[in-house]
Chain A
């Protein structure tokens, strides 16, 4: 597959899209782990939800 004289423009576009999508995914996964960790710490300190469930219970 030849991309002709504008290969750099095409490859840069696809690489940039892949990088930004990957960044979004990584950011969301890290944020999820961070929130779960904060809930675990609150659980460990004895704080419970008004429903009586554990802070980390997401069911």
Chain B
């Protein structure tokens, strides 16, 4: 099966049916290994056991941004290449991205209270991630508000690409402004500043959550394709009854 074959929704559904069980199994194994390693990780000399929140907060924060990146590529697919699955991919990803962003915000808040003494601060990193969350909700509302799927797809694609401006702002907010949030510790110039005892469980959890996203995304895309099939068959049925 070539990449161009995947433009055919029926072939995509066939591929999805074959790979989803394997992906789900790999996701479960990786997350279980990651959780075990997170439980066994030592306490941080400054943060104590609260460092364990990092193992769920950071993967969710990475995925919050990554999912918008995937949606931005899909938006290009909708606007430039008019790929039949591009809007399906973007629409299916939005609620999953919103969930990851919500989790990043809440786990960050729960980590912040014991470390910073506050659940929330209107600083650049926290505010820009909150804006990302609101943009996810806005996009989901847009898809629901417009009846015609092709019009909704174009409007959502434009909004997604405009919203992508927020991604570098989130990433570099800790460098550009004074914030309570710590600077990047893993993806930074000069290599990671994290000790292996924390880095390995974090990376395992990050790969596990990434696989979770791929699994959920493929399953949600399958649902969206079926929803569109239902819609077109209902329209066929209505036109047959009218004739």
Contact = CB atoms under 8 A, between A and B. Distances in A.
Given A13-B56, A13-B110, A32 B219 contact: yes
A13 to B, nearest CB: 5
Contacts of A14: 52, 56
Contact of B106 (A1, A16, A28, A47): A16
Interface string B107-127: 100110110000000000000
A4 to B, nearest CB: 5
B88 to A, nearest CB: 13
Q: How large is the interface on A (under 10, 10 to 19, 20 to 34, 35 or more residues)?
A: 35 or more
Contact of A9 (B114, B220, B230, B237): B114
Contacts of B226: 32, 35-36, 39, 58
B221 to A, nearest CB: 10
A10 B38 CA distance: 12
Contact of A10 (B52, B96, B106): B52
Interface in A17-56: 17, 20-21, 23-25, 27-29, 31-32, 35-36, 38-39, 42, 45, 47, 49, 55
Nearest to B60: A17
A24 B94 CA distance: 12
Interface residues of B, number: 40
A1 B110 contact: no
Interface string B34-58: 0000010001000011101100110
Nearest to A28: B219
B74 to A, nearest CB: 18
Given A10-B50, A35-B223, A28 B233 contact: no
B121 to A, nearest CB: 17
Contacts, number: 100
B141 to A, nearest CB: 17
Interface of B: 10, 13-14, 17, 39, 43, 48-50, 52-53, 56-57, 60, 95-96, 99, 102-103, 106-107, 110-111, 113-114, 212, 216, 219-220, 222-223, 226-227, 229-230, 233-234, 236-237, 240
Given A4-B49, A5-B114, A28-B220, 10 more contacts: A4-B50, A6-B49, A13-B107, A16-B110, A17-B103, A24-B99, A25-B216, A28-B223, A45-B237, A59-B13
19 contacts: A4-B43, A5-B114, A9-B50, A14-B52, A16-B103, A16-B107, A16-B110, A20-B103, A28-B220, A31-B223, A32-B219, A35-B226, A42-B233, A47-B236, A47-B240, A55-B229, A58-B222, A59-B10, A59-B14
